[in-house]
Amino acid sequence: MKKPYKIVTLSAAAVLALSIAGQSFASAATFKDLNSVQGKDQILALYDSGLIKGITAELFAPNRTVTQAESTQMIVSALGLNLDLVRFLKEPKASDYFKNANDSAWYADAMIVAAVNGLELPADLKPNEKMTREAFTYQLIHAIEATGKLPMVKPVAADFKDRDQVTPDYSGAIQRALNYGVAKLDSNGMFNPKKEITRAEAAVEISNALSYLQAHSVPEQGSESEALTMEQAVQLIKGVVGEEANLQIKIDPDAVVTRESFTYLLIHTLQTGGKLPMLNLIAVEIKDNDDIDLPDQGAIQTALALKIVELDSEGNFHPKDGVTLADANAMVDRVQEIAEGSGK
């Protein structure tokens, strides 16, 4: 199976929602139970854009509390996260990432997307566990900061009345949520961290988060001709090898990856994981071999032997050039062919 995965994106539907969120307009479906709900217009904007769903065509169930599975589905859908850049050697399952996940459940696909995109979810995730305001806000903030490539900020501390009730691990994200305008205090200056969050409250936070992303996220960079960053390279390789990939690297995650460094990282990781056939290598002459770092030469010869990479018409490898998304995907596709036994 060849399934792509998009590392960082804001969907067209999300952009549409941002353009209409907060406006009053006639929804395609008028929910009978939203008439007196705070944030009604934001909820309808998200619904009309296909980013959230009602319980039925007539009901949104705004006061129903949100479970962990529902929370994950809402965040994944709203941020347009998917599987558009990673090739998997085998069909991924939710249970590969979460031991309590049911692979045939309605939420399974969302869990896979969330895990691959690096959302903050517990390994012992309980899909039917009710989400508190602090837990949902924490997960949402981490999701928009990762997918929107938001710069980490040191928030101005908000001294709300029940600040001492916030779980310490959630404190920083909640402070940023208040600074971003994603979450708000109630009329009594309380955050109510332990209160179970409702569908309406979660939808309003998502709407606020999308508005913040529109104003502050780094423009998406996903051209096939664009050089990969190390962060993208690692995600591509993990998609091939799996989450158990032994990627012991110390490098700036935003650094541009060269052809030799990506080839070395891919081949070394595959070999370490026992995912490449044993070879009796016959070294190929590379005209610009002197430009290749000595530790990388063996991996490049292996990649050439397996036809994962090729030399140009003059016999050069161009080791110091940045590897493009198109090049990286072609290499990953070739690894997939080898794994499936179709590559000779």
Same-domain status, 166 and 237: no
In this prediction, residues 145-154 reach a mean pLDDT of 67
Q: Name which residue leads in pLDDT, 66 or 270.
A: 66
Which of 188, 216, 244 is the endpoint of a domain?
A: 216
The 10s digit of each residue's pLDDT in 32-68 is 888 888 888 898 888 888 888 888 878 898 999 999 9
**Distant-in-sequence, close-in-space partners of 76: CB < 8 Å, separation ≥ 6:** 110, 113, 114, 117, 119
| Strand, coil or helix: 28 | coil
In contact, 338 and 277? CB cutoff 8 Å: yes
Round the average pLDDT of the chain to a whole number and report it. Answer: 80
Same-domain status, 95 and 236: no
Q: Does position 24 have pLDDT exceeding 70, yes or no?
A: no
pLDDT at 247: 57
Same-domain status, 169 and 209: yes
Which of 216, 239, 266 is the endpoint of a domain?
A: 216
Same-domain status, 110 and 203: yes
Q: Does position 226 have pLDDT exceeding 50, yes or no?
A: yes
Same-domain status, 190 and 276: no
Percent of the chain's residues with pLDDT above 90: 35
pLDDT at 65: 95
Most confident of the ranges 79-88, 93-102, 140-149: 93-102
Same-domain status, 236 and 208: no
Answer yes or no: is 223 within a domain.
no
pLDDT at 230: 78
Answer yes or no: is 42 within a domain.
yes
Answer yes or no: is 336 within a domain.
yes
Which of 216, 249, 267 is the endpoint of a domain?
A: 216
Same-domain status, 201 and 275: no
Q: Does position 328 have pLDDT exceeding 70, yes or no?
A: yes
Task: Work out the burial of residue 328: count CB atoms within 10 Å of its CB; fewer than 13 is exposed, 13-18 middle, 19 or more buried.
Answer: buried
Q: Does position 176 have pLDDT exceeding 60, yes or no?
A: yes
pLDDT at 82: 85
> Minimum mean pLDDT among 3-17, 121-135, 254-268: which range?
3-17
Same-domain status, 206 and 238: no
Q: Does position 326 have pLDDT exceeding 60, yes or no?
A: yes
- Pick left, alpha or beta for residue 75 (phi over 0 → left; psi -120 to 50 → alpha; otherwise beta): alpha
Same-domain status, 197 and 284: no
Answer yes or no: is 303 within a domain.
yes
Same-domain status, 243 and 210: no
Same-domain status, 119 and 188: yes
The 10s digit of each residue's pLDDT in 177-190 is 998 999 999 999 99
Q: Name which residue leads in pLDDT, 208 or 89.
A: 208
Answer yes or no: is 1 within a domain.
no
Q: Name which residue leads in pLDDT, 309 or 149.
A: 309
In this prediction, residues 125-154 reach a mean pLDDT of 84
Same-domain status, 103 and 203: yes
Q: Name which residue leads in pLDDT, 93 or 253.
A: 93
User: What is the distance between the alpha carbons of residues 100 and 125, in angstroms, rounded to a whole number?
Assistant: 6
Identify the domain containing residue 281 by its residue range: 230-340
For the chain, the domain total comes to 2
Answer yes or no: is 55 within a domain.
yes
In this prediction, residues 264-291 reach a mean pLDDT of 85
Q: Name which residue leads in pLDDT, 120 or 18.
A: 120
Measure Cα distances from 251 to 117, 240, 261, 304, 327 in Å: 20, 20, 11, 25, 21
Q: Name which residue leads in pLDDT, 194 or 123.
A: 194
pLDDT band with cut points at 50, 70 and 90 for residue 217: low
Answer yes or no: is 225 within a domain.
no
pLDDT at 246: 56
Q: Does position 85 have pLDDT exceeding 80, yes or no?
A: no
Answer yes or no: is 75 within a domain.
yes
Measure Cα distances from 214 to 58, 180, 187, 308 in Å: 30, 12, 27, 39
